[in-house]
Chains A and B, each alone.
Chain A
Amino acid sequence: MTGFTSFVKKETLHILRDPRTMLIALLMPVVQILLFGFAISTEVNNINVAVVVPHWSESVRQSVEKLSSNPYITYQGAIEQGEIDQYMRSGKCDAVVVFSNDFDKVLSEWKQNGTGENAMQFVMDASNTNLAQLGSGYLTNILAVDQMSSDMMPEIHMLFNPQMKSSFNFVPGIMGMIFILICGILTSVSIVREKETGTMDVLLVSPVRPLRIILAKMIPYFALSCINLTSILLLAHYVLEVPMSGNLGAIIVISLVYIALALALGLLVSTIAKKQVVALLISAAIMLMPIVFLSGIIFPVENMPDVIKPISAIIPARWYIDAMRKLMIQGIGFVGVLKDFIILCVMTIAIIGIALKNFKDKI
């Protein structure tokens, strides 16, 4: 066995024999995907809706029918105007649709003149702002379709994610995080661990080139990441039903570039830190936090203050997540993510460059 392959073997043994690493590396991605996909969902799939109908007519009946038959709405029946407050407070309903007294007349006025009074009113429980916002859009969407002219109600059409499934958005975000975690943090910690225990000294005092030592360390983590990439993509597609309508090849290629970038980041951290704790802290500070707050996983980049936007531009995860969203959810082809791809490539090369420059074969 050559020095290099025996290195890879040793590194693999380290990972296999440390149950914690194995747990973090293999189970966490699955758990995160499932958690975000199901438990922590911000999507609206069960709004309790009641109606207030002062005067039943055929068109009102049709609208109510639409509500009650929608799978994402639980129809709670018709109530009196005076009961709205009580229903909302008791939590029996999240939204009430109040039809106007002369619904049919308003409707025909709209049809004739293209203008008129409001035909209905939504009363939303805004204590859950997310639900209120999504719900009102939702209700508008359901009730507006071919019932009235497009002018009468703002037509809201949910693009790409018609049910506004939040898991769709989270999958690219989780991928952006997982690879940093496994490649970046685990490699940096494992390199620094050798510094801490003193084995790095013994390794350096051998004819093996330090770069090979590092490269050999990265291979098992790269392999781990590939396993994770596979499992995430499979889970995303078959369990969360993310469409993956874009170019699968592009998804994989860009992910591999991103994994390489994460490995380089890990190496960079390991050149700075001398203790495992420090490596962890630096990793958390320069890798995880910015991803969570600035890459657009939680707060959309578009909504960020102008001061913050340029900072988010230097975060690799932002471009990766952007590319993955386009490819996996929007179904845009490789050309659509070319910019992201190029940026990621440049970043990877730059980080590798800095890390290598920083890396010394002395202490």
Chain B
Amino acid sequence: MTIEKAIEVNGLSKSFGTVKALDKVSFDVQRGETFGLIGPDGAGKTTLFKILVTLLDTDEGTATVDGLDIGRDYRAIRARVGYMPGRFSLYSDLTIEENMEFFANLFGVSVEQNYDLVAPIYSQIEPFKKRRAGRLSGGMKQKLALSCALIHKPSVLFLDEPTTGVDAVSRSEFWDMLHNLKKQGLSILVSTPYMDEASRCDRIALCNSGKILDIDTPSNMVKKFDGNLYGIKSKEMYSLLKALRGDKTIINSYTAGEFHHLLADNGFDAERLKQELTSSGHKDVEIKPIVPLIEDVFIKLLSNER
């Protein structure tokens, strides 16, 4: 067992014209780890992927993938990584089977040779192998794309927003598949704009506008959250929000679904707030302390940035 890391990134920067897509990004991914890059569009996730799979050159900084330098050894890296770009990148006019064979041959292997690795995923779509890829459902396309990215037995897997635009069931199934691959020792770098998927990763990097805000395990991120978070609701959610904005003991308040979330200052008193709101006409006011979600962490980090 080597101790070398699956991915090591040091101070990567990349600009397109005046737009800074990546700004001194550093992190590393351990062997066998599932590492999530979590952030909205424009966070630089795709640019980072393209640099790491050697499609794009960096302006500054260095990185290694599977111990190989992305600049010098880019050909060797290409043979060892599996890459699934953000958009559906298979041939829609070829069948499932033809796509699989093509991508296997591209890496000089046959489908049979590495069938074991892809079997749990591929077997689900194999009954339809004569169907053209363009006529598959979102979930099936995703499975095919993953199978194609895996067929050459890569040591590091790069998945750029694999769950975007796919419904919740397929998303959940997809993460189950990744979990199985991780058990086989694969190192995975995956990006997603869905904050609720953070918990499926070993470690995550929250990123925004080309910068990494924080890196940690999802549970540590939540533990580190310093501040008191409450959920609050009433009959009239919009005027409630306006009322919260007027309270001096509340640092931040925002919509969050059934309950608004509010980040409280030290002088905050939930009972007092409830009484004040009720007396000013709010009905059915309910306040409770809540455990922050990754989104709350993200919002707090982002607010600090701004």
Chain A interface residues (CB < 8 Å from chain B): 1-3, 5-7, 9-10, 13-14, 17-18, 197-199, 201-208, 362-363
Sample (21) of A-B pairs whose CB atoms are under 8 Å apart: A1-B101, A3-B105, A3-B107, A5-B105, A6-B102, A6-B105, A7-B105, A7-B106, A197-B88, A198-B85, A198-B86, A199-B89, A201-B55, A202-B103, A204-B55, A205-B83, A206-B79, A207-B106, A207-B108, A362-B54, A363-B56
- Count of chain A to chain B residue pairs whose CB atoms are closer than 8 Å in the complex: 82
A17 to B94, CA, bound (A): 9
Q: How far is the CB of B236 from chain A (nearest CB, A)?
A: 46
Q: Is B183 an interface residue (CB 8 A)?
A: no
CB–CB A206/B98 < 8 A: no
- Is B72 in contact with chain A by the CB < 8 A criterion? no
Chain A CB within 8 A of B288 CB: no
On chain A, the residues within 8 Å of B93 by CB distance are: 13-14, 17-18
| Complex-state Cα separation, A186 to B104, whole angstroms | 26
Which of B55, B88, B98 contacts A13 (CB under 8 A)? B98
Distance (whole angstroms) from the CB of A140 to the closest CB of chain B: 60
Q: For B50, give its contact among A14, A199, A201 (CB under 8 Å).
A: A201
| Known contacts A2-B108, A3-B108, A363 near B55 by CB under 8 Å | yes
Q: Is the CB of A206 within 8 A of B107?
A: yes
B3 to chain A, nearest CB (A): 26
In the A-B complex, the 6 residue pairs with the closest CB atoms: A6-B105, A198-B89, A207-B79, A205-B83, A198-B87, A17-B93
Contact of A206 among B50, B84, B90, B106 (CB under 8 A): B106
Contacts of A17 in B (CB 8 A): 93-94
A11 CB → nearest B CB, Å: 10
Say yes or no: B79 contacts A14, CB within 8 Å. no
Q: Is the CB of A205 within 8 A of B89?
A: no
A344 to B: closest C-beta gap in Å: 34
In the complex, B194 has a CB within 8 A of chain A: no
Say whether B89 contacts A208, CB under 8 Å. Answer: no
Q: A13-B93, A207-B108 are in contact. Are A197 and B87 (CB under 8 A)?
A: yes
The listed residue with most B CB atoms (<10 A of its CB), out of A197, A198, A207, is A207
Q: Are B94 and A10 in contact (CB under 8 A)?
A: yes
B85 touches A201 (CB 8 A): yes
Residues of A within 8 A of B269 (CB): none
Q: Is B75 an interface residue (CB 8 A)?
A: yes
Contacts of A18 in B (CB 8 A): 93
Assuming the contacts A13-B94, A362-B56, A362-B57, asked whether A201 and B89 have C-beta atoms less than 8 A apart, the reply is yes
Q: Is B78 an interface residue (CB 8 A)?
A: yes
B55 partner residues in chain A, CB cutoff 8 A: 201, 204-205, 362-363
Q: In whole Å, how far is A125's beta carbon from the nearest beta carbon of chain B? A: 55
Contacts of B152 in A (CB 8 A): 206
B188 contact set on A, CB distance < 8 A: none
Contact check, A207 vs B105: say whether CB atoms are below 8 A apart. Answer: no
Determine the distance from Cα of A292 to Cα of B79 in the docked complex, in whole angstroms.
Answer: 46
Nearest chain-B residue to A4 (Cβ)?
A: B105
B81 at interface (Cβ–Cβ under 8 A)? yes
In contact, A205 and B78 (Cβ under 8 angstroms): yes
The answer to whether A202 and B102 touch (CB under 8 A), given A207-B79, A207-B107, A207-B108, is no
Given A201-B55, A207-B107, A363 contacting B50 (CB threshold 8 A): yes
A220 to B102, CA, bound (A): 16
Of chain B, the residue at the smallest CB distance from A201 is B85
Known A-B contacts A17-B93, A198-B89, A207-B108; A6 and B50 likewise in contact (beta carbons under 8 Å): no
Q: Which residues of B contact A362 (CB under 8 A)?
A: 54-57
Question: How many Å lie between the Cα of A208 and that of B108 in the bound state?
Answer: 9
- Given contact pairs A207-B78, A363-B56, A202 touches B89 in the complex (Cβ within 8 A): yes
Return A13 CB to nearest CB of chain B, in Å. Answer: 6
- Judge whether B232 is part of the interface by a CB distance below 8 angstroms: no
Asked if B91 CB lies within 8 Å of chain A CBs, one says yes
Taking CB atoms, residues of chain B closer than 8 Å to A208 are 106
Tell whether A199 pairs with B90 under 8 Å between CB atoms, given A363-B50, A363-B55. yes
User: Chain A: which residue is nearest B101 at the CB level?
Assistant: A6
Inter-chain CA distance A1–B102, complex, in Å, is: 9
CA distance A197 to B79 in the complex (A): 22
Extra 18 A-B pairs, beta carbons < 8 Å, given A13-B98, A202-B149: A3-B108, A6-B106, A10-B91, A14-B93, A18-B93, A198-B86, A198-B88, A198-B89, A201-B50, A201-B53, A201-B55, A202-B83, A204-B78, A205-B78, A205-B83, A206-B106, A208-B106, A363-B50
Task: Please judge, given known A-B contacts A18-B93, A201-B89, A205-B53, whether A10 and B102 are in contact too, CB under 8 Å.
Answer: yes
Pairwise interchain contact B106-A203, C-beta atoms closer than 8 A: yes
Of B79, B84, B85, B101, most A-chain CB atoms within 10 Å: B85
Could you give, for residues 47-74 of chain B, a 1 whenever the CB lies within 8 Å of some chain A CB and a 0 otherwise?
0001001111100000000000000000
- Residues A207 and B94 in contact in the complex (CB < 8 Å), given A3-B108, A197-B89: no
Whole-angstrom distance between the Cβ of B187 and the nearest chain A Cβ: 16
Contact B98 A1 (CB under 8 A): no
Listed residue (B90, B101, B102) with the most chain A CB atoms within 10 angstroms of its CB: B102
**A199 vs B93: C-alpha distance when bound (angstroms):** 13
